[in-house]
Amino acid sequence: MFNTPVLDVAIGLVFIFLLYSLLATSVNEAIATGLSLRARMLRKAIMLRMLSNTEEENKVLNFLKGFAGIFTEIVYIFGGAPEKRPEDKNIGDQFYSHPIIKNYASSSFFKIPSYLAASNFAIILIESLKEDFNNKVNEIAAQKFGNGKSVREVFDELNNSPDIIKIKELLDYYAWYYAANPGIKTYNELPGLPRGLDKEIHCILQLHLRNSLFDFNAFNKKIEGWYNDTMDRVSGWYKRQTQFILFVLGFILAFIFNVDTVAITNNLSTDKDARDQMVQLAVQSADLYKNDPRIQKQVQPAAETNPDSLLKLSQGYLNEAKKTLDSSLKNPNMVAGLGWGEYGQDDPAFIQKLSAKCFHRFLIFGRIKMKDSLNAVSNRINKEITLQPPVNKDSLILVQFYKEQVKNFPVRIKTSYIFYSVGAKKILGFIITAFAICLGAPFWFDLLNKLIKMRGTGNNNNSSNTVDLTATKETSTTAINTTSTQNTSEEAVG
């Protein structure tokens, strides 16, 4: 019941998705480690979400800004972000300029940490609030002036206060400022100094301070809990970012290796030998990859801070990708008919279409027209043939023309064939493959094991049925033979 061609096709497809998911996972981890994507996601969460106002924009504009931000971030990775003016910096910039953050930097390239403990976050934030208090102590003293005290007395009293009182007075000052200016969400009253706490962050910190009953240790714990709750959401953000990267990598891999899900399904459905070979390879690989770390439910982030170790780790992921590419993908690709073959060498229609193209030669002025090259090859072959021309002379001319053009323009000829072969149906197959790859290797490995187990159950049931039928047949034969013998004996006696 379970051992059907449909199940074998499903096993073959899942096996292909697993192998390319493993390849995409290795490349993704190399990119994440080499470009510090985890560290950049952590900085984004702290600076733009925890310590800044939330921008109120419509979904379309927000999506477009996020998409443009990807390319901006790529430029910043290699070229560095522009230096902000002092008045454009907020508490988040002060946070990331703290010595503890700088101490976690592994090199001039890996300047920010990929992990930060909740206790360290609370310490740095409180130190940043104390620094902000020192920058605004004169304004706070002027705002509290009165009750028979001079400004100097108020100033000295504020400076000699405990840290929790300094934070309270700072937040009270922001509360007074934003109440007096209801249309303003960002404090920017002191030219040449950071702009201070944004309105939403002031509200959050004041809420935690009140809930801690103005106790320093309790306030510290509230800040740690706030950070841990945010990090739980950041894990989801990073997962979505990883899925997006895997989708892009999946589409690129599908395009490069011609992993067309629609075509693979058709090939496996119609070719029994390919289907059987694919199932055999899948069963062998199920044992091979069961201890692979890429199969685990969650890939652990790199804990190394040494730049040499990070580079070695990134190189290790690339080596895993190369190993998967060289060993694991070779046989399945041949069985499933993946790849671009000879890039159109056996396709006369493509070669005829290629002859109408014009290519530029690098470092040489002028253009080469493919039709002229085809005519030159044809004339040369006609001169070389002195005896009776062969029947497949036209085919010989096209093959020789193709070989010469591939030698002169290898990248352009192969690229032309790829775009010549790609249509709406193939693009659909690539998109399906990309969506499958972004589901991740653990998903496909678990599904592959379940399908193999289901197929094995079907085989066992069929084997049991065969044994029972054989045994029944042998018993029946024995009974018939015994009856015949008895009948023969009776007749002899009679």
Digit-coded pLDDT (tens) for 350-384: 777 776 665 544 434 445 556 556 666 666 666 65
pLDDT computed for residue 443 by the predictor:
92
Q: Which of the four pLDDT bands, split at 50, 70 and 90, describes residue 310?
A: very low
Amino acid 279 reads V
Half-sphere exposure in the Cβ direction for 101 (13 Å, CA): 21
pLDDT computed for residue 325 by the predictor:
53
Q: Phi, psi (5° rounding) for residue 360?
A: -90, 140
User: Is residue 21 within 8 Å of 440, Cβ to Cβ?
Assistant: yes
pLDDT computed for residue 225 by the predictor:
94
Q: Which of the four pLDDT bands, split at 50, 70 and 90, describes residue 31?
A: confident
Residue bearing the bigger pLDDT, 405 or 19: 19
Whether residue 488 is predicted with pLDDT greater than 60 in this model: the reply is no
Whether residue 60 is predicted with pLDDT greater than 90 in this model: the reply is no
pLDDT computed for residue 300 by the predictor:
46
Whether residue 164 is predicted with pLDDT greater than 80 in this model: the reply is yes
Residue range 323-346: average pLDDT? 65
pLDDT computed for residue 204 by the predictor:
93
Residues 449-477: pLDDT tens digits? Answer: 999 988 876 555 554 444 343 443 344 34
Residue range 36-43: average pLDDT? 86
Whether residue 433 is predicted with pLDDT greater than 90 in this model: the reply is yes
Whether residue 158 is predicted with pLDDT greater than 80 in this model: the reply is yes
Nearest to 379 by CA among 359, 390, 393: 393
Residue bearing the bigger pLDDT, 424 or 188: 424
Q: Which distant-in-sequence residues (6+ apart) come within 8 Å of 353 by Cβ?
A: 420
Q: What is the DSSP string of 192-220?
A: TS----BHHHHHHHHHHHHHTTT-HHHHH
Residues 273-291: pLDDT tens digits? Answer: 888 888 888 888 888 887 7
Q: Is 50 exposed, middle or buried (CB count within 10 Å of its CB: 0-12, 13-18, 19+)?
A: buried
Residue range 65-81: average pLDDT? 65
Q: Which of the four pLDDT bands, split at 50, 70 and 90, describes residue 2?
A: low
Q: Which of 193-202, 301-310, 446-455 has the lowest mean pLDDT?
A: 301-310
Cross-strand pairs, 268: none
What's the token pair of residue 335? 């069985």
Q: Which of the four pLDDT bands, split at 50, 70 and 90, describes residue 5?
A: confident
Q: Which of the four pLDDT bands, split at 50, 70 and 90, describes residue 326?
A: low
pLDDT computed for residue 493 by the predictor:
28
Amino acid 406 reads V
**Spatial separation of the C-alpha atoms in residues 157 and 165, rounded to whole Å:** 11
User: Is residue 199 within 8 Å of 53, Cβ to Cβ?
Assistant: yes
Nearest to 7 by CA among 447, 385, 325: 447
Over the range 332-344, which residues count as b (16 or more CB within 10 Å of their CB) and which as e? Answer: bbebbbbeeeebb
pLDDT computed for residue 335 by the predictor:
59
pLDDT computed for residue 109 by the predictor:
61
Residues 232-268: pLDDT tens digits? Answer: 999 888 888 889 899 999 999 998 888 889 988 988 8
Q: Which of the four pLDDT bands, split at 50, 70 and 90, describes residue 432?
A: very high
**Spatial separation of the C-alpha atoms in residues 437 and 248, rounded to whole Å:** 10
pLDDT computed for residue 331 by the predictor:
65
Whether residue 399 is predicted with pLDDT greater than 80 in this model: the reply is no
Average pLDDT taken over every residue of the chain: 75
Whether residue 445 is predicted with pLDDT greater than 60 in this model: the reply is yes
pLDDT computed for residue 366 by the predictor:
45
Q: Which of 27-36, 225-234, 307-316, 396-405 has the lowest mean pLDDT?
A: 307-316
Whether residue 389 is predicted with pLDDT greater than 60 in this model: the reply is no
**Spatial separation of the C-alpha atoms in residues 418 and 255, rounded to whole Å:** 9
